[in-house]
Amino acid sequence: MTKFKYALFFDFHTSTEIPDVGKTFDAEAFTDQVKSCGVDFITWHARCNQGNAYYDTRCGKRHPSLTFDMIRSIGEACRRKGIRFSVYFNGYFSDEELLQHRDWMSIEIKGDSYHCYEGFTGFNNPGVRAACYNSPYREHLKEMVRELLADYPVDGFFFDCLAAPSCICPHCVKEMREKGIDPTDPASVHKFGLFSVRRLCSELTEMIRKVKPDSFLYFNGRPAEEAINMESHLECECLPALYGYEGLTANALYLRTVAGNKPVLGMTGRFNDWGDFGGLRTAESLEYDLFYGAANGVRPDIGSHFHPRGELDLPVFDRIREVFGRMQQYDEWVLDAVNSPEIALVYPVKEEEYRPTGNAVDSAVRMLTELKIQFDLVSEFASWDRYNLLIFPDDVIFTPEIAQRVEKHLKKGGKILATSRSGLDPEGKKFVIPQWPAIYKGPVSYDPLYFLPAGELAQGLPSMPLSVYASGSLVQEAENAKTEMFLVKPYLFSGWDGLRSNYYNPPEKVTDEPFLLRNEQILYISGELFSGYGKRAPKQLRELLGNALRALEPNWKIRSSTLPSFARAFVQKKGNMELLHILAYCPEGRGKASAVEDRITLSDTEIALRTEGKRVRKAYLAPDRKELPMEQKDGYCTVKIPLIVGYALIVFEY
């Protein structure tokens, strides 16, 4: 069941120099505004990254200009109005506490004890001091949590900025020596830093669960796969105006595979940057973030800065009401709906990363969503058993565990699409899977790299050498395979040759070196198809990918010749219904930012949904239940939507 319907997250990082904190704050008026937005869960700062607390703490430091217990007043008002209330602690940063306790400070290997905020440079960077988890700060933080557990109406805890520092403060060095760890070895110090932050999270979890077993609990800064067994839910921190919209896509598709049955909150912001009190994003941009999340099982959460005096900034609440109000029309269908695609994009997570990331996988996510493919983004953490097709983009090395899973997948009749180095052993010498259609010979030397479309997978592609815009692998055909496309050799190699600059390098001739090979279960492309798309976004590479996927999985869940590439389409299931979400927005670069300002209008959009052999009783547009004419044929139900403005939800009832 959905634990959250609509959430808000209030930043309250407040400098000690501000003289009038809470002066005009009215907890009743504030929670009335929250309640009027339909919100059932909020997070508020108990102690911010400036080191100031906002409740009557015995062991911490309440903000000097705050004259009342803000956390108690908010918590009691929330409890009366049925709003769950979680409190925020910055687990790592704290200026005021570390000014008083210099021996609690984390000291990096280079000697730094002052941490700069991203995006700022120079001496005046508004950075902040960081605490060492192995100093007395650890017990201090736990004691502050105990205060709230014992005597405050709080439902959960959010711990922020939980980095894994390479700390060489006296506390860490002492413990490292006791454990036989060399404090002069950076790798060993880093490993000890990982141990330290994990121990803190484990101790906080045990302490909180003993007192409040049903507490909401989230550790921001720790990788999802590491912390999920301690957490009550996951939170997807994504501010597209700052980080871009690509991360929003990948985060949603990945986190749902880690969360399992636990809910995921998708936190965007009403502002454009952290520390931005004057930003108010458009309703269109916020609803794009939140509808995108809802279509992928992620519940909406809007972050906002709250003015230190307590002023409500009513236009912010008006905007939140507007966006949440539009979403709430669809609750009947969307709440508790699930995504269950049959295709998985597989990519490992590197240490300390929030999700699988890199040029190849990021580009793959974009290409697949542009093609309207229904898929999950998975690492080794999640099971792959329910997927019919696995996609390995460009550079997925096959560890023994991955190889074992792939063998199991092939044995049950599953299909695979892989490109370039994906499939190689950890030494990068050969393809691991015996059934692989190619034999690895080494990295390709051609630069630029061309291929010639040919055969049935060349449908829609121009009959001319096409650029990959990236490198690739040199392979030969295996016994069980058929080569359908070949590499094309350029006349020259790009770069300075000692006399001339070889920038203009046309294709010379088709070689006998394979570009695309396949057998009954595996389709392999030797070029870095996804990295090339990430560099230049050529439509031909996406069309080739679409052709390859149709060869492996001809019956796509969605078919449409009228949806534009920028539109997004996602399918969910709930009871006897399948839900088709269509999003017609187009994030664009404006200056240094990425923005959404307009809903795009689509007319007469025809879409066919694969119905798994079932008969559709009716298809209609939510929320007004306006029925759509439909045709059922060859396992698909086809409908035509007269008008889509930004977002549409089509419901197929069986």
- Fold assignment, 7-328: TIM Barrel (3.20.20)
* 158 or 499, greater pLDDT: 158
**pLDDT of residue 247 exceeding 80:** no
Q: Residue 263 in contact with residue 562, Cβ under 8 Å?
A: no
* 20-43 per-position pLDDT tens digit: 999 999 999 999 999 999 999 999
| Contact assessment for residue 572 and residue 338, using Cβ atoms and an 8 Å cutoff | yes
DSSP string spanning 195-256? Answer: HHHHHHHHHHHHHHHHH-TT-EEEETTS-HHHHTTT-SSEEEE--HHHH-SHHHHHHHHHHH
Mean pLDDT of 610-634: 97
Degrees to nearest 5, angle at CA 375 with 374 and 378: 170
How far, in Å, CA of 134 to CA of 157, rounded? 21
Q: Give CA separation, 608 vs 296, 557, 632, in Å.
A: 20, 8, 9
Q: Is the pLDDT of residue 307 over 90?
A: yes
The torsion defined by the Cα of 182, 188, 192 and 195, in degrees rounded to 10, comes to -140
Mean of pLDDT values over 307-319: 96
Three-state SS for 128? strand
CB atoms within 10 A of CB 46: 27
Residue 530 dihedral angles phi and psi, to the nearest 5° = -75, -40
What are 70's two structure tokens?
A: 């803000």
Look up tokens 């108010």; give the residue.
280
pLDDT band at 1 (very low <50, low <70, confident <90, very high): very low
Distance of CA 31 to the CA centre of its chain: 30
pLDDT of residue 115: 67
Indicate if 558-653 has the same CATH topology as 343-552.
Answer: no
Residue for token digits 């580009």? 363
Rounded (10°) CA dihedral 361, 367, 372, 374: -20
Determine the average pLDDT of the residues in 202-211.
98
Residues ≥6 apart with Cβ < 8 Å to 572: 295, 297, 334, 337, 338, 339, 578, 579, 581
pLDDT at 532: 98
Mean pLDDT for the chain overall = 95
Residue 560's Cβ-count burial label (10 Å; 0-12, 13-18, 19+) is: middle
Q: Residue 323 to residues 43, 285, 331, 451: CA-CA distances in angstroms?
A: 19, 10, 13, 47
User: Please, what is the Cα angle at 42 between 94 and 146, to 5 degrees?
Assistant: 50
The size of the chain, in residues, is 654
Cα-to-chain-centroid distance, residue 618: 34
What integer is the mean pLDDT of 58-64?
96
Residue type at position 488: V
Q: What one-character-per-residue DSSP string does 258-294 give?
A: HHTTS-EEEEEESSSSTT-TT----HHHHHHHHHHHH
Contact 449, 467 (CB under 8 A): yes
CB atoms within 10 A of CB 552: 19
CB 302 within 8 A of CB 271: no
638-653 pLDDT, tens digit each? 999 999 999 999 999 9
Name the pLDDT band for 121 (thresholds 50, 70, 90). very low
Comparing 359-373, 474-488, 590-604, which segment has the lowest mean pLDDT? 590-604
Residue 124: the pLDDT is 52
Closest CA to 533 of 558, 565, 562: 565
Average pLDDT of span 108-112 = 84
CATH-assigned architecture of domain 558-653: Sandwich (2.60)
Instruction: Show contacts of 272-276: CB within 8 Å, 24+ apart.
Output: 272/239, 272/241, 272/242, 272/593, 273/119, 273/239, 273/241, 273/242, 274/11, 274/117, 274/239, 274/242, 275/13, 275/117, 275/126, 275/305, 276/305
Whether residue 244 is predicted with pLDDT greater than 80 in this model: the reply is: no
Sign of CA dihedral 162, 166, 170, 176: positive
Q: How confident is the model at residue 521 (pLDDT cuts 50, 70, 90)?
A: very high
Percent of the chain with pLDDT over 90: 89
C-alpha distances (whole Å) from 40 to each of 37, 85, 254, 354, 500 are 9, 9, 25, 27, 67
Residue 594: pLDDT band with limits 50, 70, 90:
confident
Which region, left, alpha or beta, applies to residue 44 given φ > 0 means left and ψ of -120 to 50 means alpha?
A: beta
**pLDDT bracket for residue 239 (50, 70, 90):** confident
Under the banding of pLDDT at 50, 70 and 90, the label for residue 501 is: confident
Token pair of 56 as six digits: 């009557």
Residue 127: which pLDDT band, with cuts at 50, 70 and 90? low
Mean of pLDDT values over 331-351: 96
Eight-state DSSP code of residue 165? -
Pairing relation of β-strands 501-502 and 507-518?
unpaired
pLDDT tens string 173-183:
999 999 999 99
Could you tell me which of 397, 410, 402, 456 has the C-alpha nearest to residue 437? 410
CA dist 478 and 431 (Å) reads 11
Strands 630-633 and 636-645: antiparallel
CB atoms within 10 A of CB 445: 10
Closest CA to 369 of 548, 256, 249: 249
Cβ-contact 358, 422 below 8 angstroms: no
Cα angle, residue 244 at apex, residues 240 and 248 outer, rounded to 5°: 65
Mean pLDDT of 154-161: 97
How deeply is 464 buried, as exposed, middle or buried, from its count of CB atoms within 10 A (0-12, 13-18, 19+)? exposed
- The CATH number of domain 343-552 is 3.40.50.880: yes
Q: What is the pLDDT of residue 123?
A: 47
Distance CA 481, CA 337 (A): 41
Whole-angstrom distance, CA of residue 28 vs CA of residue 76: 10
For the chain, the domains span 7-328, 343-552, 558-653
Helix, strand counts (H, E) of the chain = 16, 34
Does residue 217 register a pLDDT over 60? yes
Paired tokens of 130: 């960081």
Q: How confident is the model at residue 32, as a pLDDT?
A: 98
